[in-house]
Amino acid sequence: MMCGRQFTEDESQLLQEIIINRRDVRGNRFLSTPLDEADIEKILLAAVNAPSVGFSQPWEFVVIQDENTKNIIKDSFQQKNNQASNHFSTEKQALYQRLKLEGITDAPINIAVFYKPSTQPVLGQTAMPEMGQYSVVCAVQNMWLMARSLNIGMGWVSILDPHCVKKAVNAPKPHQLIAYLCLGYVDAFLPQPELEQLQWEKRKQLNSVVMNEKYVDC
Amino acid sequence: MMCGRQFTEDESQLLQEIIINRRDVRGNRFLSTPLDEADIEKILLAAVNAPSVGFSQPWEFVVIQDENTKNIIKDSFQQKNNQASNHFSTEKQALYQRLKLEGITDAPINIAVFYKPSTQPVLGQTAMPEMGQYSVVCAVQNMWLMARSLNIGMGWVSILDPHCVKKAVNAPKPHQLIAYLCLGYVDAFLPQPELEQLQWEKRKQLNSVVMNEKYVDC
């Protein structure tokens, strides 16, 4: 007999539903209703139960409610977002400028997630040093799913200057910003990712991204 | 009324159980029992429903069963692992050498997960280019949880040369190896992470990694 908790088919099916119904939530959806402390703790507990290379747990979380801090970070978003739209074709630029791409001041809670490099060698990180950052990303994905299961929306804002965030929360020099997250209740979880719905990008078919044994020379 | 699937407290509790019972599985636990095709597809479907920056879905998966390929990659592990143990203190080296840190040839299925960089600018990736790789890591974490809910063990092998894996599966030059995964049924899911149990590293307390508003100068 196998040791450890056995999950049923229904339970696995439920996980699939949580995964499929998870959305990246932006400012046009967030409600200002405060989040329950107990729910924030559940989300953070999901984070720290993520896998980490060599059990190094190299993550730190700054929970932000202060309007001042949010405004500083929103400024950084605006600056980077103005630069960003130039990267796209004229056709896409018009759509880009209509998109609401963050919910920094709309969401009641922001969480800045940092990677804290170890001062000692870490088991499993000697050949692939990026495993430290990847461990922190696993924690973020756990947070995302846990938030969704609590009917709380989460958005990941990547259009900003990581150094500006570090400065705003007084992060130690060696720390690296991995994710800037906005969390709050929402008026709706969209049935599809917004960028799919707006046809910014098409969904890829599973068989187009899965190879059997090897890539075929083309 | 909010649109979108509403999850209950019990359902959220179940997700927490899956998260907490997930383990990094190594070769000493894998059974050679083949995996069901339908289960592999569920795991891959969980992957492609991960969040991705700008809905870019920048992931590709190579499903490996071929013993030849596994042996090439196991050689790469062995080489990197021999180099790795020198990084640790004399005391830890003895323990390191007793650890079984991969299940490449023990697990029936290996999956190499790649990041395929876009040739076009990607929404949300202009200020933080690493968001592409991070999207692929989110997919890996979805796979891990889905595998666990199917009572399938998964291990992430990071002690290897990514270029060797690329070569072994004939991956295109621009692709970057993010994760090399071993999957299979197991004789046990350990009650704790093995490295915690063996006291290689201590578990961090939640309050030691969560800051309120800002880091305090020290």
**Which residues in B87-129 belong to E strands, given as ranges?**
109-115
Chain A residues inside the 8 Å CB shell of B185? 2
Query: What average pLDDT does this structure show over A78-94?
Result: 93
Q: Is the pLDDT of residue A130 over 60?
A: yes
Looking at beta carbons, which pairs linking B93-99 to residues 24 or more positions away fall under 8 Å? B95/B198, B95/B200, B96/A123, B99/A123, B99/B26, B99/B194, B99/B198
Q: How far is CA A133 from the centre of its chain?
A: 13
Distance from A198 to chain B by nearest Cα, in Å? 11
Task: Name the residue of chain A whose CA is nearest to B210's CA.
Answer: A61
Find where tokens 């960089």 sit.
Answer: B117
Chain A residues inside the 8 Å CB shell of B190? 3-4
Task: Name the residue of chain A whose CA is nearest to B168's CA.
Answer: A214
Q: In this prediction, does ipTM exceed 0.90?
A: yes
Confidence at residue B2, expressed as pLDDT on a 0 to 100 scale: 66
Most B CBs within 10 Å, among A30, A109, A113, A142, to test the B interface:
A142
The beta-carbon neighbor of B142 closest among A19, A42, A215 is: A19
pLDDT in tens, chain B (218 residues): 568 999 999 999 999 999 999 999 988 899 999 999 999 999 999 999 999 999 999 999 999 999 999 999 999 999 999 999 899 999 899 999 999 999 999 999 999 999 999 999 999 999 999 999 999 999 999 999 999 999 999 999 999 999 999 999 999 999 999 999 999 999 999 999 999 999 999 999 999 999 999 999 75
Confidence at residue B28, expressed as pLDDT on a 0 to 100 scale: 82
The C-alpha atoms of residue A41 and residue A36 are separated, in whole angstroms, by 9
Closest CA to B209 of A53, A174, A112: A112
Confidence at residue B133, expressed as pLDDT on a 0 to 100 scale: 98
Confidence at residue A58, expressed as pLDDT on a 0 to 100 scale: 98
Ordered by where they begin, the domains of chain A are 25-189 (3.40.109.10)
Confidence at residue B218, expressed as pLDDT on a 0 to 100 scale: 58
pLDDT tens digits, one per residue of B73-119: 999 999 999 999 899 999 899 999 999 999 999 999 999 999 999 99
Chain B residues inside the 8 Å CB shell of A216? 170
Confidence at residue B27, expressed as pLDDT on a 0 to 100 scale: 80
- Classified as helix, coil or strand, A114 is strand
Interface touch B57/A148, C-beta < 8 Å: no
- Using the Cα atoms of residue B123, residue B128, residue B129 and residue B131 in order, give the sign of their dihedral: negative
Task: Name the residue of chain A whose CA is nearest to B69's CA.
Answer: A213
Distance from B89 to chain A by nearest Cα, in Å? 9
Report residue A49 as tokens.
């139960």
pLDDT tens digits, one per residue of B26-35: 888 999 999 9
Query: What average pLDDT does this structure show over A97-105?
Result: 95
- Other CB atoms within a 10 A radius of the CB of residue B3 amount to 12
DSSP string spanning B6-75? PPPHHHHHHHHHHHHH--B--TTTB---PPPHHHHHHHHHHHHTS--GGG---EEEEEE--HHHHHHHHH
Most A CBs within 10 Å, among B138, B176, B185, B202, to test the A interface:
B138
Confidence at residue A131, expressed as pLDDT on a 0 to 100 scale: 98
Q: In whole numbers, what is the pLDDT of chain A averaged over residues?
A: 96
Distance from B27 to chain A by nearest Cα, in Å? 15
Q: Parallel, antiparallel, or unpaired: how do β-strands B59-64 and B153-157 relate?
A: unpaired
Interface touch B213/A14, C-beta < 8 Å: no
User: Quick one: DSSP state of residue A29?
Assistant: T
Confidence at residue B178, expressed as pLDDT on a 0 to 100 scale: 98
Closest CA to A215 of B168, B190, B116, B104: B168
Q: Is the pLDDT of residue A1 over 60?
A: no
Confidence at residue A27, expressed as pLDDT on a 0 to 100 scale: 80
Confidence at residue B169, expressed as pLDDT on a 0 to 100 scale: 98
The C-alpha atoms of residue B12 and residue B7 are separated, in whole angstroms, by 7
Report residue A70 as tokens.
């949010």
Confidence at residue A2, expressed as pLDDT on a 0 to 100 scale: 66
Interface touch B54/A201, C-beta < 8 Å: yes
Q: Parallel, antiparallel, or unpaired: how do β-strands B59-64 and A210-212 relate?
A: parallel
Confidence at residue A34, expressed as pLDDT on a 0 to 100 scale: 97
Environment class of residue B207 by beta-carbon count within 10 Å: exposed (0-12), middle (13-18) or buried (19+)?
A: exposed
Cα–Cα distance list, A209 to A24, A25, A204, A213, B179 (Å): 22, 26, 8, 13, 15
Interface touch B128/A206, C-beta < 8 Å: no
The pTM of the full predicted model, rounded to 2 decimals, is 0.98
Interface touch B212/A3, C-beta < 8 Å: no
Interface touch A200/B54, C-beta < 8 Å: yes
pLDDT tens digits, one per residue of A159-190: 999 999 999 999 999 999 999 999 999 999 99
Task: Name the residue of chain A whose CA is nearest to B139's CA.
Answer: A141
The C-alpha atoms of residue A76 and residue A110 are separated, in whole angstroms, by 15
